[in-house]
Amino acid sequence: MKNYFKKFGIMFVMLLAIIGVGTIQNGNIANAATVGQQLSSPESGWRRFTYQSPEINYIGSGWTDSNNKGYQIYTQNAGDKIEIFFYGTKFRYIGTYHNSHNTDVRVSIDNQESSINQYINSSTGTTYVLQLEKLNLEKKVHKVDIYTNTSPGPRFVGIDIDSDGELLPCNESISLDQSSMDLKVDDSQSLKATTTPAAVGVVWKSSDESVAKYDKSTGKVIATGEGKCTITATIDDGYNVSASCTVNVIPKTNEPTEPQDPVGDGTLFIELVDGNIKSYDVSSQEITNFINWYKNRDLDDSQSPVYKFKKGDYTDYVVHDKIDWFEVR
């Protein structure tokens, strides 16, 4: 019996320990900062970048650094904007409350907009306030824009992101490894984009997909039809930073085939520029091959300049540029 109570006592103590650990863990979760609370420093798992971080871009002429206090930047101008790129999965906006602040500060993350109310009925105000939190973002580069549509503009202290996240420079650019390319119908060729910052989303568009289109899965331009079009790559953030490549597509040519023995389906007469007239008894297929070769050579100088006809035991060569006219009878 004593052993029974001893074992029961040990189990009871272990149960209390487990409950205690759970309570502590839940307590940590419960004590995590919530929107509207002051947060003077980043919590565990977060990293803070203040408004003075050089990677942050301020667009507009009204920005004022409260360097006498050293905790925020602000503008009175509607339309002035803060531009931020960061790599990570979570985001917190740190700002201020005051009775002179705007009730609708817009924060756009990857074109998904949220609103912050920075107004509070107090002339004293509150600083270092957690005013917006976004969790479970895709682990990639994110574009953040902060602005207002009415005066005054945003009051901005800084941001918190993942402890292993990165704040990236805002000097956006995109370039392609080719500015033009020539293709034949059904051919394809690689076209690569380089962006700053790296790993941002890129949208590809063709001015005419009946001529050529971009296959994002393979990274290639595919020629679909004869003509000329433009392939444009644009950074996917709404600001139309783009680069383009001109694509010229010519018909797909049939390589000259070995000449066939004449079978008498028709007679092809070719007059050369020197006045000499040649005639060939050829099949209908041979006539088609010759006409296709002649047209393709007109469009593309890289095609074979000569066509071969078989006459008895020898092969006769006709040079494209020496042909004045031809007809079939």
pLDDT in tens, the chain (329 residues): 555 445 555 555 565 554 444 444 444 444 689 999 999 999 999 999 999 999 999 999 999 987 656 589 999 999 999 999 999 999 999 999 999 999 999 999 998 999 999 999 988 889 999 999 999 999 988 999 999 999 999 999 999 999 999 998 877 789 999 999 999 999 999 999 998 877 778 999 999 999 999 999 999 999 999 999 999 999 886 667 899 999 999 987 655 555 554 455 788 888 888 888 888 888 888 888 888 888 888 887 777 888 888 877 788 888 888 888 888 88
* CA-based radius of gyration for the chain: 36
Give CA–CA dist 193/205, Å, rounded. 13
Give CA–CA dist 99/102, Å, rounded. 8
Token pair 């091959």: residue: 289
Question: Tokens at residue 242, please?
Answer: 């783009």
Which residue ranges make up each domain of the chain? 46-168, 173-250, 266-328
Topology annotation, domain 46-168? Jelly Rolls (2.60.120)
Give CA–CA dist 89/134, Å, rounded. 8
**What is this structure's pTM?**
0.54
Give CA–CA dist 152/139, Å, rounded. 33
Topology annotation, domain 266-328? SH3 type barrels. (2.30.30)
First vs last C-alpha separation in the chain = 120
Neighbours of 325 (CB within 10 A): 10
Topology annotation, domain 173-250? Immunoglobulin-like (2.60.40)
